[in-house]
Amino acid sequence: MTIATDRHTETSPATTEAAGPLTGFTVVDLSRALAGPHAGMMMADLGARVIKVENPGHGDDTRGWGPPFVGPEDNPQATYFLSCNRNKESIALDLKSDDGNQVLTGLIRRADVLIENFRPGVLDRLGFDAARLHELNPGLVILSITGFGHDGPESHRSGYDQILQGEAGLMSLTGSGPDDPQRVGVPIADLLSGMYGAYGALAALMERERTGRGQVVRTSLLAAMVGVHAFQGTRATVAGQVPQAQGNHHPSIAPYGLFSCRGGKVQISVGSEKLWAAFSKAFGIDGSRPEFATNADRVNNRALVIEEVERAFATYGAETLLEKLDDAGIPAGKVRSLDEVYAWGQVKSQGLLVDVEHQVLGKVTLPGPPLRFFNPASAEETTRRTHQAPPMLDADGKTIRAWLAGAEEAD
């Protein structure tokens, strides 16, 4: 049997024109909601052919998550679904039926990566445990994302983003103070578990080049949240402190945060003693006084620092203040609303907005992929330039079935 590592350079009859480092690879995406679909979209953005397998009738749950919905009243489209499914194909399969089982088996044989975010054991009960998957395709990389992990005393629990933000401590670090826990404004546990999963799958593909065999890559929303505790984690594990929310000011650097000025607010980051000297000189602050002499002193006297900085900022409007900060070499910025972000020339210059043609909505603009690629030999950017809209349910079912039938004949 030819394993996937020998097949990934074949030309697939995908309905989308792809370009990127994963061109020629095929991903079967059994996941729903956000964590798994985000991982699949990342791979699609890199040029992989991503086949999204959905339940017949209603498809991925996110097709019904709204408002907002856009489009005609008799065929509304959820903007949530549009956020995490670009550059994919869709096929509707009842995985409990003989037909669904047969088609999925065919897809597994042809795939390089399979993504799933069922609860532990669900895929096994459908007849596709890891041993069976690797019997069908020894080179298959299986990306499995759960809520609380694949084993352990609470592995059976359903994983939803905000629940994991709380359970994994992130909400205790976010908010105006210890008594005001807040969720992050995007589903960060879902997004980060998808990102960790995607890079784990790519690492497994690289190892497959050496070994010829795939493996199972496991992550979870819990793991993703603990994985980004960063310096807050070592404050707890090494220093024995219990970090708490403290609003818009950095717990270990001062001044670093959101400060009021005349008629507005700005953010500054004074992350070194050199910057502090430049900042205090520019704004007439006695930076050498004992309470401000070192970063540790400023952190310990944060309230005094904030008071002094905001007193210095009080006569400046936000735009004038930002110009002065820039002249002094101080990292600074404003707090933009999303409409301001998407109208910003810098965002557009980085390819962070893409136009796609949707089957129902026509031309729509989506937030785009965050990676760019450049070939120094040719001095040309090799980033994918064309993108496809998220698919309608089962839009590619006939094409995929025909491809599988032809692939079976060829084998």
Task: Cite the active site residues.
Answer: 190
Long-range contacts of 397-402 (CB under 8 A, 24+ apart): 397/90, 397/91, 397/92, 399/13, 399/15, 399/89, 400/51, 400/89, 400/91, 400/103, 400/107, 401/91, 401/103
Q: How far is CA 213 from CA 50, 135, 150, 205, 237, in A?
A: 20, 11, 22, 9, 37
Give strand ranges (E) for 272-386: 332-333, 353-358, 362-367, 374-375, 380-381
Cα 409–Cα 206–Cα 15 angle in degrees, nearest 5:
40
Q: Which tokens is 341 given?
A: 């972000």
CA dist 47 and 53 (Å) reads 18
Residue 264 forms beta bridges with which residues?
Answer: 261
CA dist 64 and 95 (Å) reads 21
DSSP state of 6: G
Backbone angles phi, psi at 40, to 5 degrees: -65, -40
DSSP state of 237: H
Backbone angles phi, psi at 319, to 5 degrees: -65, -45
